[in-house]
Amino acid sequence: MADSKLIFEGTDWTFEKLDRAYEAIEQVATKELRLDCFPNQIEIISAEQMLDAYSSVGMPLMYRHWSFGKHFIQHERMYRKGARGLAFEIVINSNPCVSYCLEENTMALQALVMAHAAFGHNHFFKNNHLFRQWTDPDGILDYLDYARGFIARCEERHGERQVERTLDSAHALMSAGVFRHRRPPDLSASEEKRRAIERFKAQEEAVDYLLDTFERPQTAAPVPDAASERRRRMHLPEENLLFFLEHHSPILEPWQREILGIVRNVAQYFYPQKQTQIMNEGCATFTHFYIMHRLHEDGRIDDGAMFEILHNHANVLTQPDFDDPRYSGINPYTLGFGMMRDIKRICTEPEDEDRAWFPEIAGCGDWLGVLTEAWANYRDESFIQQFLSPRLMRELKLFALTDDAADRYVTVDAIHDEQGYERVRDALARSRDVSINEPDIQLVDADLMGDRVLRIRHFRRDGIPLEDADRTATLAHVRRLWGYDVVLE
Amino acid sequence: MSHFIDRRLNPKDKNLGNRRRFIKRVREQVKEAVNKSIRTRGIRDMDRSGEVTVPTDGINEPQFHHDPRGGRHERILPGNKQFRAGDRIEKPPGGAGGSGRKGSDNGEGEDDFTFVLSRDEFLDIFFEDLELPDLVKQTLKEIETAKPRRAGLSVTGAPANLNVGRTMRNAYGRRLALRRPTDATVRELRKRIFELEEIHAPTAKQRKELKETREELDELLRRQKVVPYIDPLDVRYNYFVPRPEPNAKAVMFCLMDVSASMGEREKDLAKRFFVLLHLFLTRRYDRVELVFIRHTHRASEVDEETFFYARETGGTVVSSALEQMKKIVEARYSPREWNIYAAQASDGDNSPGDSSRCMQLLNDHLMPVCQYFAYVEIIAEEETRFLKHDGNGTELWLAYREVAQAWPNFKTKRIANPAGIYPVFRELFARGGEEAQHG
């Protein structure tokens, strides 16, 4: 019987069908695409549980805070109104790699989602250098478990209100609470606990010491280069506000410092995801596209299922034009998938233009090698810089605009033509650079022996100011954590 | 294979803790919204879930981020149609900057934040001002009280529920059908055998009879053993199902003075007063009908909308409302079938001389048929100071006080804020609690 090759038929899924599909997908993923993945753990959840997972930033466990409740209500409302569907899956960068699949998915969708998340994203998490360097997939779930327990204990001991205030302030500084250039300290749970205890002791001692010297001003007699010496000892300037406050704030209790540390670690954990959104989605989309096509060609998926898969694939890849009411920025799926498919084309059937632009890879034939290397060693900004082809720019009809507040006009700098390719590519790469997108804010000085004013400096790029209302509100949070005056220059 | 884990049966509502913290956070705004909906909702709809909109102020999550309007931004957009390099496009006025407007981080923009409060959350906040004791809150929030009712028999059950009569009857029927020898028959045979054995020199006939009788006895004993006296098949247990409380009906009369002296505040308080009584009644009765009677110098039965919102001018003759209530009771609500409750709200004004008429109506006609009659006089905050004594007050107040002394189920109270409402019902709730305990 010809049908015997089919992995599944019909729309309803069962665990046996899922198993068969998983094996078939794994076959293609590891043998043909040579993907290297964490072991998979695929969990089937209901819509409500999916909403739950949404609101705790996609993590299976999280400490309690009102803002997650707020996000839950938002998502739920959108979902109930039908304004937004649920994601088909959520995948977590952990070892084993946990992916959540929605129970309402049809069998075809489950297969698509497995290929996408359990292999595409999984491979990216395991191999991309940013994730390898900056996250700890072995320890993250343990750590979150510890964090949740710790914050619950703090609520018991110090009251929900106190903990909430500390968390509010810490969350406000979350985006300014990551190390962008230094490697963050490791965070396995037991290690963290041990360090926490040490830190409590050390902090208590340090604060005592500070107060002692404060009462005996003669020991703190100002020497000429006291300021620079002080800055050196506190490792100033410092870009990680949370880290600095955690270690040097004169007023925080030890448990508050620990909460700051938790928020900082969570922020750091998500930092690579911010920088690789296009690549990550591109990798996953390319993977599912390749695997599903292969299974269809081999007669293991029937036409009906393939139609459904392609339909969903196309939905995800929709890129509305800039003047379309649905437009909300460049779709990372479209761009990522488009570039990766283009790399494959350049490697196998290059045109003259491609030979001129990409001499190293054009016609080399080893598209998989090029992609594997790119997945491992690039981030969005460098990936675009390196691989965005003129052909794709033409397809997407990309153009660059300059919007200067001082000017009554916006100017079209470049479009998808011979003169504009490089400019458009560079501008797009820059726009994906997190260190340019996010304000450059650094702590420059804090005179603990003197007026205790904390000095923060915002280094403007292109004259772009901080948004005013949020700037004031966020500064109030810094003040709360620092306990003394804070100046933002 | 252990790739797949079915989590669908895991506990849901992981977010309940977060939700509770969120609602606590927006407590003030939620309360305001609930108070507003007291004004707009009908009395019957009060214990439903409801949508609440709060301004985003208190629940903003600020971060340092770039101002999309200041400085120089370079943007890449897809879908170019006719632009060429060097084109200059005038910005639309208002500085929205025609290009790629990004939604704010929370995706909802500056709009107010709307969400649905569950029934419990709604009632909690509604009760807050009323200063209800916890036990009362609990009674009101309970959706239904159920009592176990006999519902036939079952073949399984706890020994305590054994239905002896039915079990024995079944056993008897079975014994008859299977022809189980009775003990009396056995006794008789034994007696006969004994008699035969007593004979010293039995005849051959007697010997034969003895042998036959013995065989017969053996057979009967065997039958008795095979067909037991009570078989597990016979056993029946009483079967109980939970059933809602008795199907009792109540009618609640809302009486209110709607003359010009009753302003927004007064009506708002009155409404809370009616709502509370209604909530309580719906807890105790399956069906509660509402009758709204408003009055100026004459009374009329109206619908809820008109009752609270329409204005009417005229004098104030309280007895007209009581008269109207009496008429309606006589026409539609026979006290034998209905539990009659009444709640009256007024600012205390009455035309001179009418109060004694009210007294007479209450004493002679209404109080004998009413389960409970609650009267609140809504006064201004300032008045609370010089109306401390129950002994002074308007003519109506004094008249009602006399009625209250004669009838224990008549309650009067002056209120100036929501917290004053509950004491009017205190006894009603206390009684409800007692009954619940006995039940």
A473–B77 C-beta distance less than 8 A: no
Distances (CA, A) of B438 to A378, B142, B276: 75, 17, 24
Kindly state whether residues A371 and A478 are assigned to the same domain: no
Q: Is this complex's ipTM strictly greater than 0.85?
A: no
Look at chain A and report how many structural domains it folds into: 3
Kindly state whether residues A400 and A461 are assigned to the same domain: no
Q: Which residue of A has its CA nearest to B102?
A: A328
**Residue B177 to residue B182: CA distance in whole angstroms:** 12
Kindly state whether residues A236 and A159 are assigned to the same domain: yes
Res B349: pLDDT:
80
Which domain covers residue A244, as residue numbers? Answer: 140-274+439-488
Chain B residues in contact with A328 by the CB 8 A cut-off are: 102-103
Q: Which CATH code for domain B249-438?
A: 3.40.50.410
Chain A residues in contact with B1 by the CB 8 A cut-off are: 19, 22
φ/ψ of residue A222, rounded to 5: -65, 125
Q: What percent of chain B has pLDDT over 70?
A: 81
A48–B79 C-beta distance less than 8 A: no
Q: Which long-range contacts (CB under 8 A, 24 or more apart) does A344-352 make?
A: A344/A371, A346/A389, A351/A391
**Residue A441 to residue A240: CA distance in whole angstroms:** 9
Kindly state whether residues A147 and A270 are assigned to the same domain: yes
Res B249: pLDDT:
75
Of A73, A176, A322, the CB nearest to B77: A322
Low-confidence ranges of chain B (pLDDT < 70): 1-2, 12, 43, 46-47, 55-58, 93-112, 129-147, 243-248, 384-391, 426-439
Res B355: pLDDT:
85
Res A127: pLDDT:
94
Helix (H) or strand (E) holding B300: strand B299-302
Q: Is residue A314 part of a domain?
A: no
Three-state secondary structure call for residue A404: strand
Min CA distance, A255 vs chain B (Å)?
A: 20
Kindly state whether residues A74 and A97 are assigned to the same domain: yes
The radius of gyration of chain A's CA atoms, rounded to the nearest angstrom, is: 26
Q: Decide if B249 contacts B285 (C-beta within 8 A).
A: yes
Chain B residues in contact with A415 by the CB 8 A cut-off are: 80, 83-85
Kindly state whether residues A144 and A269 are assigned to the same domain: yes
Q: Is residue A318 part of a domain?
A: no
Kindly state whether residues A215 and A93 are assigned to the same domain: no
Q: Is residue A35 part of a domain?
A: yes
Q: Which chain A residues in 10-49 lie under 8 Å from chain B, judged by CB atoms?
A: 15, 18-19, 22, 40-46, 48-49
Res A378: pLDDT:
93
**Residue A426 to residue A428: CA distance in whole angstroms:** 5
Res A120: pLDDT:
93
Q: Is residue A400 part of a domain?
A: yes
Res B106: pLDDT:
38
Query: What is the DSSP pairing of strand B338-346 with strand B249-257?
Result: parallel
**Residue A333 to residue A145: CA distance in whole angstroms:** 32
Kindly state whether residues A100 and A163 are assigned to the same domain: no
Min CA distance, A153 vs chain B (Å)?
A: 15
User: Could you say which of A309, A333, A356 is where a domain stops?
Assistant: A309
Q: Is residue A256 part of a domain?
A: yes
* CATH 3.40.50.410 residue window(s) in chain B: 249-438
**Identity of the residue numbered A256:** Q
Three-state secondary structure call for residue A482: helix
> Residue A173 has which token pair?
């500084």
Going by C-alpha positions, the residue among A316, A248, A249, A327 that lies closest to residue B98 is A327
Kindly state whether residues A84 and A210 are assigned to the same domain: no
Distance of CA A181 to the CA centre of its chain: 16
Distances (CA, A) of B132 to B266, B380, B388: 20, 22, 22
Three-state secondary structure call for residue A324: coil
**Residue A31 CB neighbour total at 10 angstroms:** 9
Q: Is residue A134 part of a domain?
A: no
Burial classification of residue A148, based on how many CB atoms lie within 10 Å of its CB (0-12 exposed, 13-18 middle, 19 or more buried): middle
Going by C-alpha positions, the residue among B45, B127, B141, B140 that lies closest to residue B421 is B127
Burial classification of residue A358, based on how many CB atoms lie within 10 Å of its CB (0-12 exposed, 13-18 middle, 19 or more buried): buried
Q: Is residue A12 part of a domain?
A: yes
Using a CB–CB cutoff of 8 Å, tell me whether A58 touches chain B. no
Q: Which chain A residues in 411-450 lie under 8 Å from chain B, judged by CB atoms?
A: 411-417, 419-420, 424, 427-428, 430-431, 437-439, 441
Three-state secondary structure call for residue A92: strand
Kindly state whether residues A166 and A99 are assigned to the same domain: no
A401–B74 C-beta distance less than 8 A: yes
Q: Is residue A403 part of a domain?
A: yes
B85–A174 C-beta distance less than 8 A: no
Low-confidence ranges of chain A (pLDDT < 50): 1-3, 187-189, 210-222
Using a CB–CB cutoff of 8 Å, tell me whether B11 touches chain A. no
Chain A residues in contact with B15 by the CB 8 A cut-off are: 51-52, 55-56, 68-69, 72
Res B9: pLDDT:
78
